[in-house]
């Protein structure tokens, strides 16, 4: 769980060491001021979640889901209409029950297809992560939000990176995503925040920097 410092403080880190969870982690040397400090471990699942988040917001994926809903609704309508000639030989109640069962079956089929699609996306996302070699980029992270920039300390390359310009701040069910370019995204898991109030403070801080927010 990450820690958030609510008041501006002066951070001094000793010779490539940063204290986290009661132990020292080698992660770079930096001295500066910060309005907010987030400490967390970035995991492979965080990268996979981002890939899924991006894929589900892509236009082609939305069109695919829309087509699936249309096809499912059409098949259900055809099935209901095909039973109408038989309604006169059965009671109205039986006809209503049959129509309800057909609609329920259509919903179940749609749900199963969605689950299969999501599972396929998850497998592809994991394969992309492993193929790209990003499994070496996980580990301890410290994000410091200053007046002029954000600073990222990452243990996997033992370096410090500063970011001054961001395109957009997005939020999923598991993390914040700060996009700095077509292929550069800062992933900040929600578990790095102690409460929903701290998440809102982070959003407000980003808005003050002029970063658009997309929930």
Tens digit of each residue's pLDDT (9 = 90 or more) over 100-140: 888 888 888 888 888 888 888 888 877 777 776 555 578 88
Tens digit of each residue's pLDDT (9 = 90 or more) over 2-19: 433 333 332 333 323 333
Mean pLDDT of 133-160: 77
SS3 content of the chain, % helix, strand, coil (to 5): 45, 25, 25
The string of DSSP letters for 154-165 reads ETTTTEEEEE--
pTM (predicted TM-score): 0.63
Look-up: residue for tokens 């965080």?
46
Tens digit of each residue's pLDDT (9 = 90 or more) over 39-93: 999 888 898 898 888 888 777 777 777 787 788 878 877 777 777 666 665 676 7
Q: What is the pLDDT of residue 100?
A: 81
């Amino acid at each position: 769980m990450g820690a958030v410092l609510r008041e501006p403080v002066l951070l001094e880190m000793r010779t490539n060491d940063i204290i986290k969870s009661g132990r020292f982690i080698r992660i770079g040397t930096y001295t500066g001021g910060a309005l907010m400090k987030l400490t967390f471990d970035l995991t492979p699942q965080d990268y996979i979640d981002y890939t899924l988040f991006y894929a589900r917001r892509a236009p082609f994926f939305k069109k695919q889901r829309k087509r699936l809903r249309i096809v499912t609704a059409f098949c259900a309508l055809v099935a209901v209409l095909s039973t109408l000639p038989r309604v006169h030989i059965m009671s109205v109640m039986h006809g209503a029950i049959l129509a309800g069962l057909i609609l329920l079956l259509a919903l179940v089929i749609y749900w199963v297809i969605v689950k299969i699609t999501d599972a396929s996306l998850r497998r592809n996302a994991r394969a992309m992560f492993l193929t790209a070699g990003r499994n070496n980029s996980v580990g301890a992270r410290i994000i410091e939000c200053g007046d002029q920039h954000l600073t990222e300390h990452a243990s996997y390359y033992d370096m410090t990176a500063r970011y001054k310009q961001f395109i957009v701040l997005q939020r999923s069910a598991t993390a914040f995503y700060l996009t700095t370019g077509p292929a550069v995204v800062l992933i900040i898991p929600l578990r790095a925040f102690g409460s929903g109030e701290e998440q809102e403070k982070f959003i407000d801080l980003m808005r003050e920097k002029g970063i658009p927010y997309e929930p």
